[in-house]
Amino acid sequence: MAMDLKEYPQSRAPLAPSTVHLLTLIMLHYHQHYRYADHGKTTLVDKLLSQSGTIAAGSDRVMDSNDLERERGITILAKNTGIKYGDFSINIVDTPGHSDFGGEVERTLQMVEGFLLLVDAAEGVLPGTRFVLHKALQLNLKPIVFINKIDRKDADVVRTEGLINDLFLELAQREDQLVFPILYGSSRLGFATDDPAVVTNSLKLLFDAIIESIPAPVEKNPGSLQMLTTALDSSDFLGLIAIGRVFSGSMKVGQQIICCKDDVVGKPTKITKIYKFLGLQRIESDTAEYGDIIAMTGFNEPVAIGTTICDVGNPLPYPYVKIDEPTMSVNVSVNDSPFSGKEGKFLTSRQIKDRLEKELKTNVALRVEPTDSTDSFKVSGRGQLHLSILIENMRREGFEIQVSAPQVIYKAIDGVKCEPIEYLVVEVPTEYQGVVMESLGKKKAEMKNMEIYDNGRVRIEFEVPSRGLLGFRGQFLTDTRGSGIATFSFHGYQPYKGDIIMRTKGALVSMENGQITGYALDTLQERGTLFVSPGDKVYEGMIIGENSRDNDMDVNPCKQKKLTNMRASGSDEMIKIEPPRIMGLETCLEWIMPDELIEITPDSIRLRKKVLRATLRK
């Protein structure tokens, strides 16, 4: 598309006609805080879309289209959109900020020329900030820093800016990466400024910084078509849809192309549709050229992420960035509990296998392996949250499955057993500092830094084994009375730290099949914390609560009160039962032990022992 360059400063190198500016937004949008926090990345995308006139003003979190994203207020899947600003086109890729979804970040960073690093003025630099910045600088992308939420009462712009500069000094691959524009503002209020003391009324300075700082695309192999596939979609009418960036050459509808990846070259096929992105829409186009991010159809064979679309007779696979390996695994198996088949639609191992294989096509950081049993599959991912999102999606689709306790994936490095390590940052009131440090000490955590704030809170940084964080959430909330914040990100592999005590309390396990009675629970609630209510159905081997002691206890939650002809004096006191603890999927994954399973159906989440019969567990 033609552009009028006279509107922009001539000190800048002139841009070629039909140039498209490419930008990705990456920041820590951490959604596994033990007290929720949000740096406002998706909100900023909303404001960029509305202030450019691409969508109507007032739209809220339009990029979070997935149901789980809207419910949790997080970004799980990377998505791209396009903006028209004056005579310029800007492609934006909105990426997750959590390292559990690092595969989404890694596969999309290749599509862009620069990135916008968003950091909360009050929260400052957190572990996820380090993760995404390191990945972006490795690819030599051009940075713009935006310090967000400067309107917060507890914003500390000077400290946050200092932490950002320190992080760039630590992670920069080249000297020129230390020179970058810094803007301040509020994504919620929709303004950007170059002086934190001055409030503007728009994001114009941010738009201008993008145009001034992010370089125009350069054709990698002039004249030779190269389009790298970084995402897949499908349509009942059009079939498979490949989404990616054209790095070289051009394409048009009806053109013959081939798919190639590594040493494999596919058969020629014809392009049937080309779509470009503008706002929330895919705009049909007859052509695309280098620099465009597009969606295209016309495939006769399956296409994998990382496939390059090339001219017939000229296969030139584009280098695809290596995705980090998984760090945690669970076993997903057929539900064989007594309640199997009562609530779900998809029950068999074949259906589970097909669903997991479908997920592998788009979830690049996931791994699925067979086990000794034909009814069970080992599923490995980048962390507990990564795995729980897949399991929750399967549950909502109608699957009945059983999931084992998460296990970290060990590696042998130079003959030494190594385990995954997380970089953990906690921020707590000073009165809880001691109990938190004591708790983490038992998890083999090593303190790396501590900073005391003027507001009575302290920030402490640790390196802790990933397995030490399983079950840490509940204890941390209890220790800090709900006032603490904890964030963590994958840090790397280190030599095995030794045995760690996991759950310190046993389970209350049903020894009967039937319906739970209030009479029985009235007695059992003295033994521990209950997960069930009167009237719930239960089976032998199902876990109904947490014991107050460290051993498992077999109990009868179906016990009926014996009826006699004698009326009790005072006519039977009313039973008072405490509300049960709600055990969500992620809480269950943190709570269970290796000899236990989570039974997951569209309507229920239950805990059970692997061996149901009490006599066989002795």
Longest C-alpha distance within the chain, in Å?
100
Q: What is the pLDDT of residue 223?
A: 81
**One domain for residues 423 and 526:** no
Residue 543: band (very low, low, confident or very high) from pLDDT cuts 50, 70, 90: very high
Q: Report the chain's mean pLDDT, rounded to a whole number.
A: 81
**One domain for residues 279 and 143:** no
**One domain for residues 32 and 175:** yes
Q: Quick one: average pLDDT of 381-396? A: 86
Residue 25: band (very low, low, confident or very high) from pLDDT cuts 50, 70, 90: very low
* Domain closes at, from 392, 410, 428: 410
**CATH code of the domain covering residue 304:** 2.40.30.10
**CATH code of the domain covering residue 369:** 3.30.70.870
- Residue 535 in any domain: the answer is yes
**CATH code of the domain covering residue 140:** 3.40.50.300
CA geometry: angle 60, 188, 168, nearest 5 deg: 115
Q: Quick one: average pLDDT of 410-426? A: 89
Its pTM stands at 0.74
What does the buried/exposed string (b/e) look like for 96-116 if buried means 16 or more CB atoms within 10 Å of the residue's CB? Answer: bbbbbbbbbbbbbbbbbbbbb
- Residue 118 in any domain: the answer is yes
**One domain for residues 91 and 133:** yes
- Check pLDDT > 60 for residue 34: no
**One domain for residues 486 and 511:** no
- Residue 1 in any domain: the answer is no
Give the residue from 281, 276, 313, 317 showing the smallest Cα distance to 295. 276
**CATH code of the domain covering residue 539:** 2.40.50.250
pLDDT tens per residue, range 552-609: 899 999 888 776 665 554 444 577 888 888 888 888 888 888 899 999 999 999 999 9
**One domain for residues 455 and 417:** yes
**One domain for residues 609 and 585:** yes
Total number of domains in the chain: 5
**One domain for residues 533 and 547:** yes
- Residue 34 in any domain: the answer is yes
pLDDT tens per residue, range 117-130: 888 888 888 777 77
**One domain for residues 404 and 417:** no
Give the residue from 328, 267, 330 showing the smallest Cα distance to 298. 267
pLDDT tens per residue, range 196-213: 888 898 888 998 888 888
Phi-psi region of 337 (alpha: psi -120 to 50; beta: other; left: phi over 0): beta
CA pair distance 83, 49, nearest whole angstrom = 6
**One domain for residues 297 and 381:** no
**One domain for residues 300 and 366:** no
Q: What is the pLDDT of residue 29?
A: 37
- Residue 440 in any domain: the answer is yes
pLDDT tens per residue, range 181-240: 999 999 888 889 999 888 898 888 998 888 888 888 888 888 889 998 888 887 778 888
**One domain for residues 72 and 180:** yes
* Domain closes at, from 265, 283, 311: 311
By the 8 A CB rule, do 547 and 506 touch?
Answer: yes
- Residue 318 in any domain: the answer is no
In DSSP terms, which residues pair with 252 in a beta bridge?
Answer: 287
β-strands 250-252, 287-289: how paired?
Answer: antiparallel
- Residue 81 in any domain: the answer is yes
- Check pLDDT > 50 for residue 36: no
Q: What is the pLDDT of residue 591?
A: 87
Residue 96: band (very low, low, confident or very high) from pLDDT cuts 50, 70, 90: low
CA pair distance 252, 256, nearest whole angstrom = 9
* Domain closes at, from 495, 527, 548: 495
- Residue 114 in any domain: the answer is yes
Range of the domain at 390: 328-410
Structure-token match 């509107």, residue found: 7
